[in-house]
């Protein structure tokens, strides 16, 4: 299936309740790949938006008490309308507020994909760990972490890192494309979560291959962004990455490195 062409023809509306720090980067990246993002901050529009949306991203990177109500209302309306929800528990384990917020949402609502980095997802799994926050070093295999989170919640799980791992009810996959500069900029993982929501939204019911292709396309575009830059560095990389998300087509996925287990 030509998912990139399908995405661009469908132009899915993805509502992003996300980290304030990364809204501009996320919106530009989503537009470049062919989706239609809305950065919502008003809970009273949840009912209207979820009647039109193809996907919802909830990212708790800069959550607070007011945003908690907004996120709750958005997920509730998404569940009511059958809109797939991607949930990113940014910084889980770094504070009681973040952990309680995440635990409450995962216990209360239907989530279609839990996506996070190795450190926060290891904490979410309940395993003993010293890893905390969004800059955690990866000391445990991402596939093992994804398996542990899936076993706990029985929800599809994407763990990002040097090796990205996806675990669902019927599939385990490890993706090894990408570049180290993705870890040197703010918002790389946040945009990946939004892209996953877009790809999931155009194929219902949930299709694990759509997540694999979303992650692989993003990571291959990151590699292309580095290759197109004379001196790759964190300042120029984000702009070049957005360019590559716009310029590349489905054929780039023929080079994806995926191990299906």
Q: Which domain holds residue 123?
A: 3-260
What local confidence, expressed as pLDDT, does residue 2 receive? 96
* Mean pLDDT along residues 234-242: 97
Separation CA 111–CA 124 (nearest Å): 15
Using DSSP's 3-state secondary structure scheme, residue 159 falls into strand
What local confidence, expressed as pLDDT, does residue 137 receive? 44
Q: CATH no. for residue 162?
A: 3.40.1190.20
Cα angle 162, 88, 12; round to 5: 100
Q: What is the pLDDT of residues 196-236, one digit of tens each?
A: 999 999 999 999 999 999 999 999 999 999 999 989 999 99
Pick from 197, 198, 248: nearest CA to 222: 248
Q: What is the pLDDT of residues 117-165, one digit of tens each?
A: 999 999 999 975 444 444 444 446 999 999 999 999 999 999 999 999 9
How many angstroms separate the Cα of 240 from the Cα of each of 50, 221, 223, 235, 246? 32, 9, 10, 10, 10
Give the count of domains, the chain.
1
**Structure-token match 């132009």, residue found:** 11
Q: How confident is the model at residue 9 (pLDDT cuts 50, 70, 90)?
A: very high
What local confidence, expressed as pLDDT, does residue 127 receive? 76
Reported pTM = 0.94
36 DSSP β-pair partners? 13
Rounded percentage of the chain residues whose pLDDT exceeds 70: 95
Per the prediction, the chain carries an average pLDDT of 94
Task: Reply yes or no on whether the pLDDT at 52 is more than 70.
Answer: yes
**What are the start-end ranges of the E strands in the chain?**
13-17, 36-39, 55-59, 85-88, 113-117, 157-160, 164-167, 172-175, 258-260
Backbone torsions φ then ψ of 79, nearest 5 degrees: -60, -40
Pick from 63, 62, 59: nearest CA to 195: 59
């Amino acid at each position: 299936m030509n998912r990139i062409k399908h995405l661009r023809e469908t132009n899915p509306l993805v509502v992003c309740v996300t980290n304030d720090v990364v809204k501009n980067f996320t919106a530009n990246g989503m537009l470049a790949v062919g989706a239609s993002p809305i950065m919502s901050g008003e809970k009273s529009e949840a009912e209207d938006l979820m009647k039109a949306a193809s996907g919802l991203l909830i990212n708790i990177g800069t959550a607070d008490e007011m945003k908690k109500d907004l996120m709750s209302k958005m997920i509730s309306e998404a569940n009511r309308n059958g809109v797939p929800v991607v949930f990113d528990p940014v910084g889980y384990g770094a504070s009681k507020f973040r952990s309680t917020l995440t635990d409450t949402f995962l216990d209360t609502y239907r989530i279609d994909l839990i996506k996070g980095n190795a450190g926060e997802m290891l904490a979410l799994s309940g395993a003993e760990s010293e890893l905390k926050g969004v800059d955690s070093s990866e000391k445990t295999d991402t596939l093992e972490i994804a398996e542990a989170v899936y076993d706990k919640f029985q929800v599809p799980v994407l763990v990002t890192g040097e090796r990205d791992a996806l675990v669902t009810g019927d599939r385990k996959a490890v993706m090894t494309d990408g570049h180290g500069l993705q870890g040197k900029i703010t918002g790389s993982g946040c945009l990946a979560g939004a892209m996953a929501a877009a790809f999931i939204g155009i194929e219902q019911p949930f299709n694990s291959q759509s997540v694999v292709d979303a992650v692989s396309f993003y990571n291959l575009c990151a590699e292309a962004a580095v290759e197109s830059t004379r001196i790759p560095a964190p300042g120029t990389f984000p702009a070049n990455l957005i360019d590559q998300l716009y310029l590349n087509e489905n054929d780039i996925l023929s080079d994806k490195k995926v191990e299906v287990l």
